[in-house]
A and B are shown apart, each in its own frame.
With several copies, the nearest count.
Chain A
Amino acid sequence: MNKKDLSLLVLILVVGAVVAFINPRFLYVGNLSNTLNQVGMFGIFSIAEAFVIIIGGIELSVGSVIALLGVLFIDLIVNHDVNWVLALAMIIAAGLAIGAVHGTLVTKIGIQPFVVTLCGLLIYRGAARYYTEDATAGFGFGASFPMLEWLTAGRTNILGFPLPHSVIALFVIAVIAWVVLHRSVFGRYLYAVGKNEEAARYSGIRSGRVVIAAYVICGGLTAFAAILIAMYTRSISPAVHGSFYELYAIAAAVLGGCSLRGGEGSIVGVVLGTVLLQVLQNLVNLLGIPSSLNFAVMGTVILIGVLADQYLVQRRRRATTAKGVPQASGAGASVGASAE
């Protein structure tokens, strides 16, 4: 765990402690379990986004993909009586395919990732709305897929704590992603391509493939998150479902230390970023803050957290240099950051 992750964790603990102090119900098992459930769903597609951000790209179509694939998934199992295992596989495959298309357009045709995925954002949202004729897709009353529901939206009691399966899924995915990013050769390549694509090519890395792979992973994970979210809401209004979720994902990744210039970011950070965002949502409801202030509270807490972090970093640096101890790395960081 690096320093940035640590200070994020401290921020979460401080916010949590303050909320728990004002309203102890924050710590109730039920509430924690609900919040964790949200963390699970949002964390998965935030990790997806992080993969793309690390290679220096961006994926804006997350929310629209969640809407489109969610609609398709429900449609498959409710209206077309497709076996849910098959439907699940089909949806994940669709997500992978979307990722492959994005990656190919970016690398082979050379279109800016922002443009490619902005078009994705528009097209998939439109497709979802057109497909359902703007009607809400849902399970209807009493429709039931016990096994699927239990797997995706259920909770398992562990030492008296109802652990949501979504968070178990997030845990598994995060561990795998961590190993891939921080321990495997492929992860190295992701960081290398994100930092300096030309140098990566000079080192014999097939940077095109690495970029495509990142988008494919992102697509697959987003599809999986889409299914979890669909099973959670059990109904999808294609016009609004998942809109703005790409911002959540990017925010979580950036809070977690990813730089939009590529080549930076840690999985632990992204998960912690998601936790922070979800705790903030929870806080607004628990403290009875008017829901109109929801966004404002979120923004303010993030800003204060980041400011405090910067302040501490600068104080520490000043303290060490005054004492004559060699200063921390990244002397240029505070200045260079302005260009980040």
Chain B
Amino acid sequence: QAADKKVLAFVVNGASDFWKIAEAGVKKAQGELPNYDLQLKYPEQAAAAVQQRMMDDLVAAGAAGIMVSAVDPKNQTEHLNKVASQTLLFTTDSDAPNSKRIAYIGSSNTELGKDAGKMMLKALPNGGKCVGFVGLPGADNARERIEGVKETIKGSKIELVDVRGDEIDQTRAKRNVEDILAAMPDVSCMVGFYSYNTPRIYEVLKEAGKLGKIQIIGFDEDPITLGGVKEGSIAGTVVQQPYEWGYQGMKLMAAYIGGNKSGVPANGIIIVPGKVIDKSNVDDFMASMKAMLKK
């Protein structure tokens, strides 16, 4: 009978924990949308070609709607249009404004970067050298976050001297931190741009006994990041709300298919703002996360 239900697919840009939270949102939406079959799809590689292939196949399999976190929205426009011509298309996470997608739901990475920049200004009143760590430095989300940070700290005594990439290999991610510690003894803050970068920074500094001496600013809500925030050794972290993307996005798509188009604004952009988590609100946040993931 499941085959009779309309399929709504959420195609993400690669496997990661982050999308687990979105999945929780999708699951919640599934509970409220019994007539739909909601699927979360992970392409086996974070490559545009692989993702495109996956969407082609989904269209072929008759999906009623697709919400996609495009790997490379700028250049995928044409293909997204092709998908949009055959089924309902939402974008999330990173927008493709020139495409014929119906709506975008997500946050703005530049804004998130700015939030992190503000946190750095607060944590390092006397300025200092910072080094960033990221999975794929060329990816749009990474670039925008880095841009946001740089824009905010411009003119201050804080300097982002380098951003090291690791191809999403955790061993290298950790090793990069170790190497930077060896190469730049005067580094005074480290920024983890991807969710797993911050815990790796935390662990290396902990092993080196440098916790507290070097400020850590993170993105996303890895449990170790949150633990570090709670402990006070991580200055803070900027989180997005993928749960909301998954939940609201799916509900909106279902409504749209059902004929109710009021949820989508004229420009089609629905921004779910990010949140700055520091010592003051970390307990609340952790509690709410727990509650969300439980369902």
Contacts and interface: CB of A to CB of B under 8 A. Distances in A.
Chain A partners chain B: yes
A189 interface: no
A136 B183 contact: no
B188 to A, nearest CB: 17
A291 B60 contact: no
In this complex, the member of A31, A136, A235, A242 whose beta carbon has the largest number of chain B beta carbons within 10 angstroms is A235
A132 B47 contact: no
A290 B41 CA distance: 7
A140 B223 contact: yes
Interface stretch (A22-30, A105-113, A204-212): A22-30
Given A135-B138, A139-B75, A25 B41 contact: no
Contacts of B59: 30
Contacts, number: 213
A239 B166 CA distance: 10
A34 to B, nearest CB: 4
Nearest to B140: A136
Contact of A136 (B14, B60, B75, B165): B75
B62 A25 contact: yes
A99 to B, nearest CB: 23
B104 interface: no
Report the interface size class on chain B.
35 or more
A240 B58 CA distance: 23
Contacts of A136: 16-17, 72, 74-75, 138-140, 196, 222
B241 to A, nearest CB: 18
Interface stretch (B112-120, B168-176, B244-252, B256-264): B168-176
B150 interface: no
Interface stretch (B28-36, B121-129, B224-232, B271-279): B224-232
B224 A140 contact: yes
A237 B175 contact: no
Contacts of B48: 233, 235-237, 241
Contacts of A138: 72, 74-75, 199, 223-224
A232 interface: yes
B15 A238 contact: yes
A141 interface: yes
A129 B45 CA distance: 12
A229 interface: yes
Interface stretch (A7-15, A49-57, A279-287): A279-287
Given A282-B179, A286-B57, A292-B15, A236 B138 contact: no
Interface in A48-105: none
Name the residue in A41, A132, A133, A237 with the highest tally of chain B Cβ atoms < 10 Å from its Cβ.
Answer: A237
A324 interface: no
B227 A30 contact: no
A26 to B, nearest CB: 8
A89 B47 CA distance: 27
Interface string B13-25: 0111101100000
B182 A34 contact: yes
A46 interface: no
A288 interface: yes
A31 B62 CA distance: 11
Contact of A291 (B16, B43, B170, B181): B43
B110 to A, nearest CB: 16
Interface of B: 14-17, 19-20, 39, 41-49, 52-54, 56-62, 71-72, 74-79, 98, 136-140, 143, 162, 164-176, 178-183, 185, 196, 199-200, 203, 208, 222-224, 226-228, 230
Interface of A: 23, 25, 28, 30-31, 34, 38, 41, 129, 132-136, 138-142, 229, 232-244, 281-282, 285-286, 288, 290-292, 294-295
Given A25-B183, A30-B182, A240-B168, 18 more contacts: A30-B181, A31-B57, A133-B20, A134-B138, A138-B75, A141-B223, A233-B173, A237-B15, A239-B44, A239-B165, A240-B169, A241-B47, A243-B45, A288-B39, A291-B44, A291-B137, A292-B44, A292-B138
21 contacts: A25-B62, A25-B183, A25-B185, A28-B60, A30-B181, A31-B179, A129-B42, A134-B138, A140-B223, A233-B49, A233-B52, A234-B76, A234-B199, A235-B170, A237-B170, A239-B14, A240-B46, A240-B167, A282-B179, A291-B42, A291-B44
